[in-house]
Homo-oligomer: A and B are copies of this chain.
Amino acid sequence: MAKAPRCGPYICGVDAALDVVSGKWKGLILWELDTHRVRRFAELRRGLPGVSEKMLTQHLREMEADGLVHRKVYAEVPPRVEYSLTEHGHTLNQALGPLGAWGSERIRREGSQVVDVAETAHRQPHVRSR
C-alpha cells in the first residue's frame, strides 16, 4: 500500500481530482482539517462518527502521500501527532466548494436525510449506504 503519489493514466482533470478524494472519509477529513486548521488523530476520530482507527490512518497516509495533508509528529510520550492541510489540500478544498454547494442543493431537493455530526458523535456504528 501507500503506492507513492497516484499516477493515472488520467483522461481529464476531474478524473485525477476524484481519484484523490474518493474514499469513504476523505471529504470529511478535508472538511475537518479545513475548519479546525490543525487536528490530532483522536480529535479527527471523534469528528468522524463511525470511522475506525484503521481507516482513519489509512486515509490520512494516502492523503499525506498525495500531498494534501501534513503530518507532524512530536517525539513525546504519550505520542502526539498533528494533522493539517498543505497548500494543495487547501486549494483542493476550495475547488470542492461549488461541488459542496451543488450537493447541498441536491439534499434540499431530495429531502435526503442529513446527519449532524455533533449529534451522532459517539453513537456507534452509524450505517451509511454506499
Give residues in A with beta carbon < 8 Å to B: 3, 5-22, 27-28, 30-31, 88, 91-92, 94-107, 110, 112-115, 117, 128-130
Contact = CB atoms under 8 A, between A and B. Distances in A.
B28 A114 contact: no
Contacts of A20: 103, 106
Stoichiometry (number of copies): 2
Contact of A94 (B7, B98, B130): B98
Given A18-B27, A92-B102, A106-B20, A129 B6 contact: yes
A114 B7 CA distance: 9
Nearest to A94: B98
A123 to B, nearest CB: 12
Contacts of A129: 3, 6-8
Residue of A28, A99, A130 with highest tally of chain B CB at under 10 A? A99
Given A9-B112, A112-B8, A16 B117 contact: no
A41 B130 CA distance: 26
